[in-house]
Amino acid sequence: MRDYVNPLLLLVIVVLLACRAGGVGEGGLLDGWVLALCVTAFVVNGALCVARLLAHRRALMSTVWATVYLILGSSAWVLHGAAELTNEEQAAYAALEQACQQGGSPYDVDADGDSLFTLAASLGKSRVVKNLLTAGAVPPEQLAVAARRAAENGRTDVLQQLLAAGVAVNAPTGGTTLLCAAAQEGRVGTVELLLSAGADANLADSDGTPPLIHAVLADSLPVVQFLLKAGADSAATDAEGRKAADFSRGAQMDKLLTPTLP
């Protein structure tokens, strides 16, 4: 019977994750169950692994299952954090939308410094952004913030609207650049858009970190490829003199970042 415990538990976790992805049930509750099951299974299999090793017995399967649950649990935790952030933005957007309906301005900021306009860009509400851009009078500083938030979250349609409205593709915003913000999150489509719009593939952020290093830290091979094709310098360093290759975590990335000898 014990040979079937891990496969059955894995099936339960996969079903819960499928429900989460399909919007079935309460997201927070499903995340809690997945995390609890993964942590419990990881601890049990880890303990069995240690016990088998101390008894000089083979512990391969216990190690494999412990690793599987560690990966699943870590992934679920990351997804839970991203979902919580989006839910917070959605709630803030709803509150600002209600304030606008009561006579407020879409450019009034809340306690976190967000406005209806910047949150619409962050959440990818392209129709709202388009309407506000058409109406005009968007504060320049909010245009820059909205563009950065759209780049970070991969809201390509919104970012395209903002660039068409006059946002400078290489302008610094919030201590970074649009390209660095997109590369840092591994946003392939957004990086492609920015490069096609004339973004400087070597323009570093305020900390001296170029887009290529951000892409390597995000472990995004496609973004690295786009940047190198656009002329990113693989030998460029950050403020501490480290190159992109110093942050590589795989053979494929190493190969991309290693200059081909003539």
Scan for tokens 């952004």, then name that residue: 129
Residue with tokens 């303990």: 47
Question: What letter represents residue 237's amino acid?
Answer: T
The rounded distance, in Å, linking the Cα atoms of 4 and 144 is: 55
The predicted pLDDT at position 78 comes to: 64
225 neighbors 218 (Cβ within 8 angstroms): no
**For residue 81, is pLDDT > 70?**
no
Q: How far apart, in whole angstroms, are the C-alpha atoms of residue 17 and residue 12?
A: 9
pLDDT tens, position by position, 102-157: 988 999 988 888 899 999 999 888 999 999 999 888 999 999 999 999 999 999 99
pTM over 0.75: no
Q: Rounded to whole angstroms, how far apart are CA atoms 212 and 191?
A: 11
d(C-alpha 17, C-alpha 33), whole Å: 10
Residue 176 dihedral angles phi and psi, to the nearest 5°:
-140, -170
The DSSP output letter for 244 is G
Q: What are the tens digits of pLDDT across the range 157-197?
A: 999 999 999 999 999 998 999 999 999 999 999 999 999 99
Residue ranges per structural domain of the chain: 1-104
